[in-house]
Structure 1
Amino acid sequence: MSVDGWHTLLVLGGIRSGKSEFAESLVADAPTVRYVATAPAGDPEDTEWAARLAAHRARRPGSWSTEETAADPGRLVEVIAAAGPNDTLLVDDLGGWVTVLLDPVHQPADDTATIAELAAAVRSSTARLVLVSPEVGLSLVPTTPLGRAFTDALGATNRAVADACDAVTLVVAGQTAWLKPATPATPAPAHAVPPAAAPPEAAPSHAAAPQTAAPRAAAPWTTAAPSQAAPDQVTPAGLGAADLTLPEVLTPAAAPAPAPAAPDAPGTGDWAAPTMALPMIATGLVIQPGMELPMPDDYTGPQAVDRLATLDISGAGLGVLEQVVGFAAATQGTSTPRPWDSVRVLLIRGDHEGGASAGATPGASARRARQARAGRGALARLAAENRAGLQIVEAPVSAPMEDGPALPADEVEAALRYGWRLAEQAADAGVQLLVLAACGAGAEAAAAAVLAATAGAEAPTVLGRVITEQGEIDDTAWMVRCATVRDALHRTRRSAREAKDVLAELGGGDIALATGVLLGATARKVPVLLDGPVGTAAAMVSRDLAGQARHWCLLPDHGGRPGVRLAADVLGLTPLVDLRLDLGEGATALAALPLLRSALTLAATLPAHPSLGGPDDDGDEPDFAEPEPAGPGPTTVGADEPVSPGRRAD
């Protein structure tokens, strides 16, 4: 659930106010939802009530499960108490629950104690929980004892549950008013997510200076957050605004040091505490193997590809770019996908110490990051060409993998969560496509180690040649990298090969962060372009955490890298082109992006062939052609000649 600052929410509203639809929209992005129906079946002769229940059922997606609690009011408390951190519950509604509670079948009972038990279950729940309830505080006092008992009990329930929830909203005529927390200065529209409740220190700053490399202990990238307003743009030396439109560079903001956590608390690394106010953590989500995340649409992809055969194209069609159309259709959920308008590049910079970085120029990755921030270099210029935003994220330096773990286990957990949050922030900003970029000394060797551990490859087969900045091949450095990967695999030969273990022992901070980005993008249904070793290694690791992640990834080009080719084969990601571009991870995808957009533009805008009912070459419907008469007929006159009585113009 992509809502900041809460994981339990009470949605109040009157009859036909839109409260149920609003509550359903809040959990629409959740991979699985448990719908808790509280209303009793009612009188079999009451067809109107049966129709209402049927309409509610019809709105629920097929992936939702339903729990009926009408038989026992205590069942609702049990369901909420049993839900775990990865569960999403939608309770609709408390009015039906109170009706069952007051049913003579369940009397005598201590209604006050039962309401208190419900509030206690809500307060201690670790699940993502949305409760819907009618607001009776604005209605007239009922004239019957039973009506007054109902309003009293429901009013008491609403007050108790509202006090237990993190947030409360009131829906009136389809419009939402946030009661807890207070409505922000710019009210959110109906069916929008509530405002963030993060502490002030977690808020992004637009004026923060760009960060530079920092020691490992500082973990600077944990506080990075994308700017929500247009940041300052920097013009490179020698270029004016008319020469180049720079990409929107999102600058990380520095946050004050977090309050110390308990020594035995999970995830207490340097970069764990500042993320505690982030949505996916605030909701209690635990990143673990076997997570169920959304899949692209099974039907719209093939439908979009089949539709291409009907388009008015003079040649044979889009060739291998049909895959782009099918991918975009499946991820957008429509058979007529549109080109991606809002694109964000995430540049992850993370160096690796030890033999993994043999042959790398010291400080080269920091220079690349500075170039990107200043709008220079291949990545920034291609981002500008594609009208894409650019965000630079600093990962902590990974320790030598041949000597010990590349990253402590708690920092792996924090990296996964932070990467997830980066994807959430992009989705909240309306980003339609993420491009995963990376730069870092030793990153390719770390990715090779991950591939060797997850795909059973040998280091020499997945490590590309080492090319110096002078364009020379450094075979000595290549052999050192191969030996480093071999030694790391030998050191960990008896270690578990689960995802988090591989990231801790071999992958390091940059690959762990990239894995979190892929998981978060999958959860928010945002497709990702990959093209390098860090991204493909992260995709390999993500298989064990959520197998759905690879279906949201597209590989434009393998760049001639053997490790990328192997990962693509294992993941089933067929490279779209074989240009062998090697412009740096992320830049290759941006170079191919205009071609992908062109394919989507043609698929979305070209009409059907005239033989299939499409317009003619003038853009109009084909004119009706009157058949020639069998005998003498009227004579055609010129346009400027008058039409005589008894004659007609063709």
Structure 2
Amino acid sequence: MSVDGWHTLLVLGGIRSGKSGFAESLVADAPMVRYVATAAAGDPEDTEWAARLAAHRARRPGSWTTEETAADPGRLAEVIVAAGPHDTLLVDDLGGWVTVLLDPAHQPADDTATIAELAAAVRASEARLVLVSPEVGLSLVPTTPLGRAFTDALGATNRAVADACDAVVLVVAGQTAWLKPASTPHTHAAPPRHAQAGNATPAQSALGVPAQPVEAAAPAGAGTSAWAGLDQPTASAGRRPGSVAPDAPLPEVLTPTASPAPASASAGPAGAGDWAAPTMALPMIATGLVIQPGMELPMPDDYTGPQAVDRLATLDLPGAGLGVLEQVVGFAAATQGTSTPRPWDTVRVLLLQGDHEGGASAGATPGESARRARQARAGRGALARLAAENGASLQVVEAPVSAPFEDGPALPGDQVEAALRYGWRLAEQAADAGVQLLVLAACGAGAEAAAAAVLAATAGAEPPAVLGRVVTEQGEIDDNAWMARCAAVRDALHRTRRSPREAKDVLAELGGGDIAMATGVLLGATARRVPVLLDGPVGTAAGMVSRDLAGQARHWCLLPDHGGRPGVRLAADVLGLTPLLDLRLDLGEGATALAALPLLRSALTLAATLPTHPSLGGGEDESHPDAAPAWPAEEPDFAEPEPAGPGPATTGSDEPVSPGRRAD
């Protein structure tokens, strides 16, 4: 899987067609790009060629690194193979590589074998890879043997690399035509709600996708909404349990209290008051929103994060600093767009409750997840209590039941679409309410096995290595249930071995309702620039799937703790998320993030309120009676005291001594 629906891409085009500029625009959102230059330096007296190379270098961002491979044709394949899954490579171009390959200095050589090695490296690449190559096959046959050898070798290279790449695009006169696949895979979702109607995003303009009009966002509490037709509940008679109920309203947002009255503590699942509000079933949303691969969503600020971390070194801290919590400050600064981030005041917890039938839920107590959801709505249990302590609101959301994925798809395709849109809408609602941070939680039977299946499909993991042990209510390890879950995941992967591995296919075949909804939450939060705390298998599995739909989503996620879960560890490594803590709490998905939230807020409070150290020009709090005087910015003038007794009245000169000047 990749961040834009493709993993490797070949960009073809003629001379001055705009192919290099288009290729550079495809990787412009990457935090770091390795630019692989294949062209030789050429004749020192060829100033025109030198000017071309200089122009290429000048337009590369400062964050990019350049690697030259002109000295050895085999070096290009080595660079591609050595790149990791978090790397982004831009190779420009294969025409220069073929020129070096045919150079007499590298002969005799097996050109066919070298081209095959390059294609094999592209096919096995784990990195996000864009290759640029000239298309010379449309011109006349060269009249010289060397020219014919070049066109033949380049044509063979283009065919081999195109066959190895996921997608191929041809650039003609600045216009793009997608050759593989036949239909454009990068069509964009509807623009964010803050965009003006009729405007196209940069990717849409580059790819020739027409801009789609979008309704303006209605203010919170208004009678109309950009999501037309979503607030009218309809009857759900005739639908099977767990199916998608169209047009149902969003679940009620609850506000747990820190110290509930004794009567509330003893109330049953259907107690009186707002806590008894039923959780709404997942609706099918009739909207123009299209969630598909290649969406261009916002990225956090590239500069404020490092600036905020650098600023910590100037603060008046008595010790060495915040340690690993510096990452929290950098994350908050980047997502808030300021080098002095503020603590998150308004937090909302989204608890997704959706069971998985079949072997995925082996060892789970029937009805336990529903009990946990009712408990949270009643303001009881670990999650609700921790939410109350943090002053966070809580929203319990019921996802459709997922079918046994070892026998067939976990969720129909239309319900996957509905779950994605509904999750997006949950994030939209939170952003409209002024929520500054979302905490993603889940409590579904079999969710960990479904997450393990998603990891196996998207990261090539072995299910036993990422599936945690099954612990009973009595605290005992149930090895039989663990083996049953592993067998179910194995059978599901075998059943889908020839199925596509695109995001929506993975959600339909393996992920199910809760992971699909969590993916929609991540995408919607990214679109509205709301950071998300991940905690557990469902959230991290959603992060893995979201890479194909919008690679920017992972940059808005923070993982406080891995919880000792092997699947979360692997997903965090693939997503580039470094867990901050190692508490090994096992309080249910979402509870660990809430337990760590006061610590994260404390770090942000210190970063936002502490003054600069006096040695760097900062001052003390002068309003405090015991405050020491501020460190002098400059040394005061020296004034010699008047003599108190007999002594010389002059300094030995006729010039009087002025105050502030020492006598010589």
- TM range, smaller chain: 0.5 to 0.7
The one-letter amino acid of 1:412's match is V
SS in 1 for 2:535: coil
Alignment partners' CA distance in 1, 2:483 and 2:188: 48
Q: Which residue of 1 aligns with 2:507?
A: 503
Q: Which residue of 2 aligns with 1:223?
A: 248
Q: Which residue of 2 aligns with 1:574?
A: 578
Give the TM-score taking structure 1 as reference length.
Answer: 0.61
SS in 1 for 2:470: coil
Of 327, 332, 354 in structure 1, the residue corresponding to residue 331 of structure 2 is 327
For residue 240 of structure 1, report the CA deviation from its aligned partner.
8.2
Distance verdict in 2 for CA 1:399–1:574, change over 3 Å: same
**Alpha carbons 1:223, 1:252 under 8 Å: kept:** no
Distance verdict in 2 for CA 1:473–1:291, change over 3 Å: same
Alignment partners' CA distance in 2, 1:250 and 1:626: 71
Of 363, 386, 390 in structure 2, the residue corresponding to residue 382 of structure 1 is 386
Give the TM-score taking structure 2 as reference length.
Answer: 0.60
For residue 353 of structure 1, report the CA deviation from its aligned partner.
0.4
Alignment partners' CA distance in 2, 1:92 and 1:202: 26
Q: Which residue of 2 aligns with 1:129?
A: 213
Q: Which residue of 1 aligns with 2:429?
A: 425
Q: Which residue of 2 aligns with 1:351?
A: 355
Of 612, 626, 630 in structure 2, the residue corresponding to residue 622 of structure 1 is 630
Alignment partners' CA distance in 1, 2:331 and 2:615: 28
Question: CA offsets, 1:126-165, max 9 Å, x none?
Answer: 95438xxxxxxxxxxxxxxxxxxxxxxxxxxxxxxxxxxx
**Alpha carbons 2:356, 2:447 under 8 Å: kept:** yes
Alignment partners' CA distance in 2, 1:221 and 1:600: 42
Q: Which residue of 2 aligns with 1:538?
A: 542
Q: Which residue of 2 aligns with 1:271?
A: 283
Alignment partners' CA distance in 1, 2:198 and 2:378: 52
The one-letter amino acid of 2:304's match is T
For residue 629 of structure 1, report the CA deviation from its aligned partner.
3.2
Question: CA offsets, 1:146-199, max 9 Å, x none?
Answer: xxxxxxxxxxxxxxxxxxxx78xxxxxxxxxx9xxxxx9xxx69xx99942666
For residue 393 of structure 1, report the CA deviation from its aligned partner.
0.3
**Alpha carbons 1:230, 1:248 under 8 Å: kept:** no
Matches within 5 A, 1:353-502: 353-502=357-506
Gaps of 5+ in 2: 1-28, 30-186, 200-208, 267-272, 646-658, 660-664
Distance verdict in 2 for CA 1:126–1:195, change over 3 Å: farther
Alignment partners' CA distance in 2, 1:382 and 1:221: 33
The one-letter amino acid of 1:390's match is L
Alignment partners' CA distance in 1, 2:585 and 2:188: 46
Q: Which residue of 1 aligns with 2:309?
A: 305
Q: Which residue of 1 aligns with 2:190?
A: 86
Question: CA offsets, 1:4-56, max 9 Å, x none?
Answer: xxxxxxxxxxxxxxxxxxxxxxxxxxx9xxxxxxxxxxxxxxxxxxxxxxxxx
**Alpha carbons 2:243, 2:401 under 8 Å: kept:** no
**Alpha carbons 1:235, 1:374 under 8 Å: kept:** no
For residue 582 of structure 1, report the CA deviation from its aligned partner.
1.4
Alignment partners' CA distance in 1, 2:484 and 2:254: 46
**Alpha carbons 2:362, 2:485 under 8 Å: kept:** yes
Distance verdict in 2 for CA 1:544–1:372, change over 3 Å: same
Alignment partners' CA distance in 2, 1:249 and 1:238: 13
**Alpha carbons 1:85, 1:127 under 8 Å: kept:** no
SS in 1 for 2:435: coil
Of 285, 292, 295 in structure 1, the residue corresponding to residue 289 of structure 2 is 285
The one-letter amino acid of 1:129's match is P
For residue 527 of structure 1, report the CA deviation from its aligned partner.
0.2
Question: CA offsets, 1:60-100, max 9 Å, x none?
Answer: xxxxxxxxxxxxxxxxxxxxxxx98635774899xxxxxxx
The one-letter amino acid of 2:283's match is W
For residue 611 of structure 1, report the CA deviation from its aligned partner.
1.1
Matches within 5 A, 1:85-234: 86=190, 90=196, 127-129=211-213, 195-196=224-225, 202=231, 216-219=241-244, 223-227=248-252
Distance verdict in 2 for CA 1:533–1:85, change over 3 Å: closer
Question: CA offsets, 1:465-504, max 9 Å, x none?
Answer: 1000111100000000011100100000000011000000
For residue 616 of structure 1, report the CA deviation from its aligned partner.
2.5
Question: CA offsets, 1:620-647, max 9 Å, x none?
Answer: 7727674553454699xxxxxxxxxxx9
For residue 219 of structure 1, report the CA deviation from its aligned partner.
3.3
SS in 2 for 1:314: coil
SS in 1 for 2:498: coil
Alignment partners' CA distance in 2, 1:466 and 1:308: 43
**Alpha carbons 1:560, 1:580 under 8 Å: kept:** yes
**Alpha carbons 1:222, 1:418 under 8 Å: kept:** no
Alignment partners' CA distance in 2, 1:421 and 1:218: 19
Matches within 5 A, 1:628-643: 628-630=638-640, 632=642
The one-letter amino acid of 1:622's match is A
**Alpha carbons 1:341, 1:432 under 8 Å: kept:** yes
SS in 1 for 2:442: strand
Alignment partners' CA distance in 2, 1:506 and 1:294: 28
For residue 224 of structure 1, report the CA deviation from its aligned partner.
4.2
The one-letter amino acid of 1:629's match is A
The one-letter amino acid of 2:594's match is L
SS in 2 for 1:223: coil
**Alpha carbons 2:416, 2:504 under 8 Å: kept:** yes
SS in 2 for 1:216: coil
**Alpha carbons 1:342, 1:388 under 8 Å: kept:** yes
Of 281, 295, 298 in structure 1, the residue corresponding to residue 299 of structure 2 is 295
SS in 1 for 2:301: coil
Question: CA offsets, 1:317-367, max 9 Å, x none?
Answer: 000000000000000000000000000000000000000000000010011
**Alpha carbons 1:233, 1:249 under 8 Å: kept:** no
Identity of aligned residues (%): 73
The one-letter amino acid of 1:600's match is L
Alignment partners' CA distance in 2, 1:193 and 1:301: 36
Q: Which residue of 2 aligns with 1:58?
A: none
Alignment partners' CA distance in 2, 1:515 and 1:425: 16
Alignment partners' CA distance in 2, 1:199 and 1:540: 30
Distance verdict in 2 for CA 1:222–1:481, change over 3 Å: farther
The one-letter amino acid of 1:271's match is P
Q: CA RMSD in A?
A: 3.7
Alignment partners' CA distance in 1, 2:246 and 2:278: 8
Distance verdict in 2 for CA 1:253–1:569, change over 3 Å: closer
SS in 2 for 1:418: helix
For residue 612 of structure 1, report the CA deviation from its aligned partner.
1.2
Q: Which residue of 1 aligns with 2:557?
A: 553
**Alpha carbons 1:515, 1:538 under 8 Å: kept:** yes
Q: Which residue of 2 aligns with 1:512?
A: 516
**Alpha carbons 1:373, 1:392 under 8 Å: kept:** yes
SS in 2 for 1:288: coil
Alignment partners' CA distance in 2, 1:359 and 1:610: 60
For residue 457 of structure 1, report the CA deviation from its aligned partner.
0.5
Distance verdict in 2 for CA 1:194–1:299, change over 3 Å: farther
Alignment partners' CA distance in 2, 1:622 and 1:248: 54
**Alpha carbons 2:232, 2:248 under 8 Å: kept:** no
**Alpha carbons 1:249, 1:390 under 8 Å: kept:** no
Alignment partners' CA distance in 2, 1:221 and 1:233: 35
**Alpha carbons 1:204, 1:227 under 8 Å: kept:** no
